[in-house]
Amino acid sequence: MNDDFLRALPKAELHLHIEGSLEPELVFRLAQKHGVTLKYPSVEALRAAYDFSDLQSFLDIYYAGADVLRDEQDFFDMTWAYLERAQADGVVHTEIFFDPQTHTARGLGFEVFMPGMKRALDAAREQFGMTSRMVMCFLRHLSEEDAFATLDASAPYRDWITAVGLDSSEVGHPPGKFERVFAKARELGLLTVAHAGEEGPPSYVWEALDLLKVSRIDHGVRSEEDPALMDRLIAERMPLTVCPLSNVKLCVYDTMAEHNLKRMLDRGVMVTINSDDPAYFGGYVLENFRQTQAALALSDAEMARLARNSIDASFLPDEEKAVHS
Ligand code: ES4
Ligand code: ZN
């Protein structure tokens, strides 16, 4: 049946915050392990709080959830749980975002979270043949100085990091705020991506392209409001890592049927489908494929195109992209 078809499509996940894969059950287990008291009495009560009105209302709960991550094994357990789910969904390659400042602000160093995540990614390569990359995101609500300090602190793990990204509260924190940090990252040989045009205006997408020199735009759905920007994205084959369930949960669209993914695909934009923060938004990548296809009446050929786009837009070398055909 069709579900088997969607599952079997080789997919790359390009927009996945690993801290957003932390399921309520694991939050509770880790809280118990470390003697942390949670604001919610049960797994069910925590899950019931996942009723968001916008990006900020989600981020407040997301940062609180990440507070239970305290040792290397916690980061392994979280990452491994995600990789098992991704493998079950037909993900053959994943590029995971992580937020160092969420952890360094709590006194955890890179030597705690980096080896935990890396050990899981290596095990997925061994056991599933799944390839991966790590993308270090700066929290844009914090200062340029804090981002520079984070880039410096990552130096011992530079070989494990493929790109830098930009996430957290978008409006009021345009990409240009981090122009110098991203320039330094590029000098160090890192690629760049940025969240833009999720809640922020098209001008933020322009800034991500022109000032941060990104290889992909994360979200980018508001680009549609600017015809000249649309023309540029199409001409440059600039990938957008779209997250349909996220957009509905955070009220960027009221319903999935209103999502602009099909219109952008029809225009020739290089769109991909991703899960963003699957523990919070109601589904992993296959569920995003399913619900998008159903709501927008996409053909199987269009779903295959979306999956193919994700491989092509990945940071894999061309030889490895060709293997996933
Ligand atoms: C995020 Cl959906 C989204 N947007 C911006 N920053 C984020 N961090 C985690 N999920
Ligand atoms: Zn995101």
Tens digit of pLDDT at every position of the chain (325 positions): 688 999 999 999 999 999 999 999 999 999 999 999 999 999 999 999 999 999 999 999 999 999 999 999 999 999 999 999 999 999 999 999 999 999 999 999 999 999 999 999 999 999 999 999 999 999 999 999 999 999 999 999 999 999 999 999 999 999 999 999 999 999 999 999 999 999 999 999 999 999 999 999 999 999 999 999 999 999 999 999 999 999 999 999 999 999 999 999 999 999 999 999 999 999 999 999 999 999 999 999 999 999 999 999 999 999 999 998 7
Residue 8 C-alpha to ligand 1 middle, in angstroms?
Answer: 28
Which ligand 1 atom sits nearest the alpha carbon of residue 246?
Answer: 2
Binding residues are 15, 17, 195, 276-277
Extract the tokens encoding 15.
């927009």
Phi, psi at 251, each rounded to 5°: 65, 25
User: Which of these, 33, 80, 14, 69, lies nearest to 271 by C-alpha position?
Assistant: 14
13, 17, 99, 173: residue to mutate for ligand 1 pocket, most atoms within 8 A of CB: 17
* The pTM of the whole model exceeds 0.90: yes
Please name the residue whose Cα sits nearest to atom 1 of ligand 1.
Answer: 168
Question: Which 8-state DSSP code applies to residue 173?
Answer: -
pLDDT value at residue 2? 83
What residues are designated binding site for substrate? 277
CB of 8 closer than 8 Å to CB of 306: no
How many angstroms separate the CA atoms of 315 and 293, rounded? 26
Q: From the alpha carbon of 167, which atom of ligand 1 is closest?
A: 6
- Alpha carbon of 137 to ligand 2 centroid (Å): 10
223, 197 contact by CB (below 8 A): yes
Looking at 23, 95, 198, 207, which residue is catalytic? 198
User: What domains are there in the chain, each with its CATH number?
Assistant: 2-314 (3.20.20.140)
pLDDT at 275: 98
CA dist 216 and 238 (Å) reads 6
Render 223-243 in DSSP notation, one character per residue: GGG-HHHHHHHHHTT--EEE-
- What number is the ipTM of this complex? 0.97
Sign of CA dihedral 42, 88, 317, 271: negative
Amino acid at 295: A
> How much distance in Å is there from the Cα of 1 to the middle of ligand 2?
31
